[in-house]
Amino acid sequence: MSSIVKRRALWVLALLSPLAVLLAWQLLASEPTPLPGQNIAHAQKSKDKKLYTCGMHPNVVQEGPGKCPICGMNLTPMKSSTSGGGGGGKKGKRKILYWRAPMDPTYVRKKPGKSPMGMDLVPVYADQVDKKTVSIDPVVVQNMGVRVAKVKRRDLTQQVRTIGEVVVAEDKLSVVNLKFSGWIERLYVDQTGVRVRAGQALFRIYSPELVAAQEEYLLAVRSSSKDTPLARSARTKLKLWDLSDRMIDAIAKRGKALRTLTIRAPRSGYVLHKNVVQGARAMAGQDLFRIGKLSAIWVHVQAYEFQAPWIKVAQPATMELSFQRGKLYQGKVSYIYPTLNERTRTLTVRLEFVNPQLRLKPGMFTTVRIKTRPKKNVLAIPTEAIIHSGERQLVFVARDVGKYEARQIVTGLTADDNLTEVTSGLMEGETVVVSGQFLLDSESQLREAVQKLLAARLHKKSKSKPGAAAGSGSGSAAHAGHQHGSASQGAPKKGKLDYTCSMHPQISEPKPGDCPICGMKLVKRSPAGSKKPPKGKSKPKGR
């Protein structure tokens, strides 16, 4: 019975009985008032047009209540924040939250000003942020275990811990070799590792070349004097072969060439390498002895690229040996090498340590800790709050209870105590999510996917309706078409087959194809007018 027939019947009853006046008035007041160009049935159906989803499978979205086709749970209505998340519905002056650079959204400030590129900062209003905000029920937030932390200015410090190798100091190493060839007639130091003193005899060598050079000098001295050009030339040759002036004067005074020459140690230290035996031939330029002083040694450590900015020359360092746990040796950073190891991608750093009682021996591996200088008064947040998403780094800023905004940031150095420097994107005093931010990120991405899915479905339905393009035709005809479309939306016409997805039954297509959600092949749905109900469901009652 239509509403017009109901009204006329009630007025007739009111004329027959005065007691029916009150009843007629109450019934008429309870009737919904139709909008212009719209009947009551259509208004009521518009109220019931609401999206429902499954709590366990949020990809299931349909209009109207029902059961989840995957798990069988009752569908729940979607909140308004899930389908839009708008804000700023109140009229009045817009609230400015912060200012940002127009070309760099990570450059934010509390007050207006200029960006690094010289452009004016633009305001970011609360209603603009609300559109990008993820709204979560406070109970769900508590169940997710969301923890937050304040963005503060701190002094960041880091202790670089790495592995080092003990090596001989290059400035305390000497090599013994000859500039002439000969034979070793007597070897005084015949063991590797022994300690020698500066000037100590190492070996005695016979060299025909050296004897001939001495004879040339003596001949020049006898024929003229020591000051003649020939004598000076022969004397210079002996000096270039490392004979001292004292030895040359002794040869001239003696008047006879020395058959053998004694070679002595150039410095005090330990014989680290010996490449000579008695009676062997020594060639010119051959390294015969390598002598090093071990009272002070070097330690070469390998630092990773991200640790390199912290290390500076003259920083203190401590070293610990694997067999002397708790025994720390104090040293300092003496040099940072300018090149990077291409194979290990590490930077070599040289440390200097005193070596008392020769406990530190070349070739040992040690554990080194370098105490770096703190970087003072920098903006920092907990490292665990940062989400690394490809080329971007994101954090979630807590705006209100259950409201979180995804913000892109630029980070600097990572320090100890699980802190990371933030160079742009955050302001001091803001609150960031430390735990549970990955669930918030998943929620925001899921809602974005749902919005894209719903937009695609509405676009496809609008294109499939023949009267959708003529939006402003005759009023009654367009309205009637809208009423029928809303009443039968998503349902196949009687006696005709449509195609749906077995995992997502809310999908309804007139032709075979793929499911726009999961990509599965669409299957035929039973006709709406057939007597056989769909497989797995009982016949609806009252039909």
Name the amino acid, one letter, at 80.
Answer: S
Tokens coding 20: 């029916």
Specify the pLDDT at position 125: 77
Q: Which residue did the predictor score with more confidence, 9 or 104?
A: 104
Q: Round to whole Å and give the CA distance between 454 and 517.
A: 11
In the chain, pLDDT over 90 holds for what percent of residues? 33
pLDDT at 520: 81
Q: Convert the pLDDT of each residue in 376-400 to its tens digit.
A: 899 999 999 998 877 788 888 888 7
Taking the C-alpha atoms of 138, 139, 143 and 147 in order, what is their torsion angle to the nearest 10 degrees? 20
Kindly tell me if the per-residue pLDDT of 478 is higher than 60.
no
pLDDT at 123: 84
CA pair distance 511, 452, nearest whole angstrom: 22
Residue 262 structure tokens: 């004694």
Structure confidence at residue 538 as a pLDDT band (50, 70, 90): very low
Q: What is the DSSP string of 110-170?
A: SS--B-TTSPBPEEEEHHHHHTTEEE--HHHHHHHT-EEEE-EEEEE--EEEEEEEEEE-G
Domains of the chain by residue range: 1-31, 159-169+293-373, 179-285, 486-543
**Three-state DSSP class for residue 283:** coil
Could you identify the residue written with the tokens 């680290």?
Answer: 272
Which two three-digit tokens encode residue 488?
């039968």
Q: List residues bridging with 499 in a β-sheet.
A: 509, 524
Helices and strands (H, E) in the chain, number of each type = 11, 31
Chain Cα centroid distance, residue 50: 41
79 phi and psi, to 5 degrees? -75, 160
Query: Does position 513 have pLDDT exceeding 70, yes or no?
Result: yes
Name the DSSP class of 279: T
Q: What is the pLDDT of residues 521-531, one digit of tens each?
A: 888 876 544 44
SS3 461: helix
* Element of type H or E holding 215: helix 208-223
Alpha-carbon gap, residue 337 to 349, rounded angstroms? 6
CA–CA distance, 213 with 217 (Å, rounded to integer): 6
| Angle, helices 3-16/19-30, rounded to nearest 10 degrees | 160
The tokens describing 32, both together, are 């919904």
Window from 87-96, 197-206, 231-240 with minimum mean pLDDT: 87-96
Q: Mean pLDDT lowest for which of 267-271, 352-356, 523-527? A: 523-527
CATH code, residues 159-169+293-373: 2.40.30.170
How many C-beta atoms lie closer than 10 Å to residue 118's C-beta? 6
